[in-house]
Amino acid sequence: MNNKENFKPYIPAEKITPEITVTSVIMGILLAVIFGAANAYLGLRVGMTVSASIPAAVIAMGVIRVVMRKNSILESNVVQTIGSAGESLAAGAIFTLPALFLWAKEGVMDKPDIISITLIALLGGLLGVFFMVPLRNALIVKEHGVLPYPEGTACAEVLLAGEEGGAKASTVFAGMGFAALFKFIIDGLKLVAGEISYTFKGFAGTIGTQIYPAVMSVGYICGARISSYMFAGGVLSWMVIIPLMMLFGADTTLAPGTAPIGTLFAEGGAGALWGTYVRYIGAGALAAGGIISLIKSLPLIVKTFAGAMKSVAGAKGGSTLRTEQDISLKVVLIVIAILTILVWLVPAIPVTLIGAIIVVVFGFFFATVSSRMVGLVGSSNNPVSGMAIATLLITTLILKFTGMAGAAGMQSAIAIGSIICIVSAIAGDTSQDLKTGFLLGATPKKQQIGEILGVIAAAFAIGGTLYLLDTAWGFGGDELAAPQATLMKLIIEGVMEGNLPWSLVLVGVCIAVVVEVVGLPVLPFAIGVYLPVQLNACIMVGGLVRLAMDKMKKPEEEKKEITNDGILFCSGMIAGEGLVGILLAVLAVFGVGEAIDLSAKLGLSPAFMNIGGLVLFAIIVLTVLKFSLWKKRK
């Protein structure tokens, strides 16, 4: 299964089975709304969302196979395709749109109405799907075996395990059960720390790891090579850049309105410096990495478009296989043109003609980058907010130079940034779903239609969700910190008022260029610079476990079986943690989250929780070994 020529999907192209049915559409829309609302809450509270593809696939598999007793793997695949769109659209929306509520709270502008939020989410989501359609052949088919698409592959494994039953299914469901238990202990009962960090005495560098089974599982599925690039980027940020800041500039202020470096470190440690300054470096590296990646991908993209254009012009010889049918490129181009005109002309969306052009140019660019990025590190670790930062930097500058400043300029900038952020998130999700379909033998066109249905359902739910959460707690407080949206707000204000730390952004750009020149993959490294080192370290642990599996002195066939069992178990762990993450979000909304928090009730000390976290992390690794390396086989 390492190249396209030798690859055969689970369902052959000549076999036709149910995909888009009344059951799959209704279930998918319900899951899109539920996952969208729950992930909006989670993202606004902690700054991260839970990937919904695998939880949706598990639920679909359970209902369609067990409850309805139907044997239709492609029908389950459509459910997860529609359902996962809700989570991705929520991620794109919550990283940007709450900035409008924050400005309204400060009296800068009126609170956005629910129609504006819905239309921004809807148009951004649809553009994300249609931008991805002509890229499918280049990224999913041509680069099969090159881009792993960890969550898309894991989702396919989950569905196949349910289809084939027996040992495969038991391995997946064991992973789900263990991860659900681990997640509930960490974030539900809060008996152990979910993240452990250590700062060296006399040295400002900080190292640590998260404890979450799903994050470690992404590292196992991606492998040691990609994991190590990400970890190296994190080490550069937290063990080199931050200590150098403290060593040479403890009394220096790098951005207007912020405290000196030494004061920030004394109050919040390395994390405060990372959140205040280093993220700008990461955003610069990410933007430069995206541009480099796009330039390197241009030949393949141009070739793909050329082939598609020939098909539109009536050239014969195009594939008629069911598994290679996309929405017509002619339809795609017409719809993109209509959506662009709507972005410009609809009064509820504060975007000018220049803004609409920016949306199309940057939207396609970041759709391409996002689709490749999730192929490397998965949707859960796709730094959509980093791409939004890069967009906002350029967009706000353009608007300022064209005379659109003040509240109107800031409102337009965040609307453009929101649409592009949603485009990036949906394009990444669509890529993962199409990878799942490619492995299973789904019809791409039907999956793309499913993605559109999911976007429409989630867009109409997200506005009400944001209004509900703002009414209940308000954004920017302890309950809903909205970290990304707050950062977007500061960036726009910084550019409009001319006080953005451009030197930090340019440092990130130069880092990305150096990494590319020495021959390392720049995107995984740039992602590592942007993300917390604790997350990168957890991914690295999974990569090291996979490396140990790959280096075993065993017959190739046995080694392959062990590795695949590990992938199955880790796929289950991603699903289990995702499902419990959704459950905890629902419990928190209903006020049950505090009732089950035992850390304060039992008076657990930070030292006890850290030791407990390390012990639990060791148990997580041991469970992977138990269901792969030490698994009893006939």
**DSSP secondary structure, 567-614, as one string:** HHHHHHHHHHHHHHHHHHHHHHHTT-TTTT-HHHHTT--HHHHHHHHH
Give the three-state DSSP class for 196.
Answer: strand
Give the three-state DSSP class for 52.
Answer: coil
Token pair of 161, please? 């395990």
Query: How many Å apart are CA 378 and CA 397, to the nearest integer?
Result: 31
* Cβ-contact 140, 372 below 8 angstroms: no
Give start and end residues of each alpha helix (H) in 165-278.
166-183, 213-222, 224-235, 242-249, 261-273
198 beta partners: 207
Distances from the Cα of 232 to the Cαs of 28, 44, 278, in angstroms?
A: 39, 28, 15
Question: Of 93, 203, 533, 124, which Cα lies nearest the Cα of 364?
Answer: 124
Give tens-digit pLDDT for 445-476: 999 999 999 999 999 999 888 888 887 778 87
* Cβ-contact 56, 84 below 8 angstroms: yes
> Given its phi and psi angles, is residue 482 left (phi above 0), alpha (psi -120 to 50 degrees) or beta?
left
Question: Of 185, 62, 163, which Cα lies nearest the Cα of 575?
Answer: 62
Query: How many Å apart are CA 49 and CA 39, to the nearest integer?
Result: 5
Question: Of 58, 144, 164, 157, which Cα lies nearest the Cα of 324?
Answer: 144
Which residues, at least 6 apart from 205, have a Cβ–Cβ distance to it below 8 Å?
Answer: 199, 238, 239, 240, 242, 243, 270
Token pair of 49, please? 């969302």
Query: How many Å apart are CA 343 and CA 362, to the nearest integer?
Result: 14
Token pair of 234, please? 């994190």
The angle subtended at Cα 464 by Cα 463 and Cα 469, nearest 5°, is 100
**pLDDT below 50 — which residues of the chain?**
1-2, 312, 315-317
346 beta partners: none
Give me the amino acid identity at 442.
Answer: A
Flag whether 592 is in a domain: yes
Count other Cβ atoms within 10 Å, centred on residue 295.
10
Query: How many Å apart are CA 631 and CA 457, to the nearest integer?
Result: 43
Give, for 197, the enclosing helix (H) or strand (E).
strand 195-199
Token pair of 332, please? 């795609």
Flag whether 245 is in a domain: no
* Cβ-contact 474, 46 below 8 angstroms: no
Give the structural domain span for 29: 22-192+290-514+571-616
Give, for 206, the enclosing helix (H) or strand (E).
strand 206-210
Give me the amino acid identity at 301.
Answer: I
Query: How many Å apart are CA 57 and CA 79, to the nearest integer?
Result: 7
pLDDT for 455 equals: 96
Query: How many Å apart are CA 545 and CA 463, to the nearest integer?
Result: 42
Give start and end residues of each alpha helix (H) in 473-519.
483-496, 502-517
Flag whether 453 is in a domain: yes
Flag whether 520 is in a domain: no
pLDDT for 202 equals: 83
Question: Of 578, 564, 577, which Cα lies nearest the Cα of 616?
Answer: 577
Flag whether 547 is in a domain: no
Give me the amino acid identity at 631.
Answer: K
Give, for 546, the enclosing helix (H) or strand (E).
helix 533-550
195 beta partners: 210
Flag whether 552 is in a domain: no
* Cβ-contact 97, 466 below 8 angstroms: yes
Q: How many residues does the chain have?
A: 634
Q: How much helix, strand and coil, in percent to the nearest 5, is found in the chain? A: 75, 0, 25
208 beta partners: 197
Token pair of 610, please? 């850290």
Count other Cβ atoms within 10 Å, centred on residue 42.
22
Count other Cβ atoms within 10 Å, centred on residue 47.
19
Number of domains in the chain: 1
Question: Of 190, 195, 179, which Cα lies nearest the Cα of 50?
Answer: 179
Distances from the Cα of 7 to the Cαs of 73, 84, 145, 442, in angstroms?
A: 19, 26, 10, 14
- In the chain, how many H helices and how many E strands? 25, 2
Which residues, at least 6 apart from 195, have a Cβ–Cβ distance to it below 8 Å?
Answer: 208, 209, 210, 211, 534, 613
Question: Of 286, 350, 287, 279, which Cα lies nearest the Cα of 500?
Answer: 279
Query: How many Å apart are CA 237 and CA 563, to the nearest integer?
Result: 32
Flag whether 554 is in a domain: no
Phi/psi of residue 320, nearest 5 degrees: -110, 5
Flag whether 548 is in a domain: no
Q: Identify the sign of the CA torsion 533, 278, 529, 359.
A: positive
pLDDT for 2 equals: 46
Give tens-digit pLDDT for 370-386: 888 788 767 655 667 66
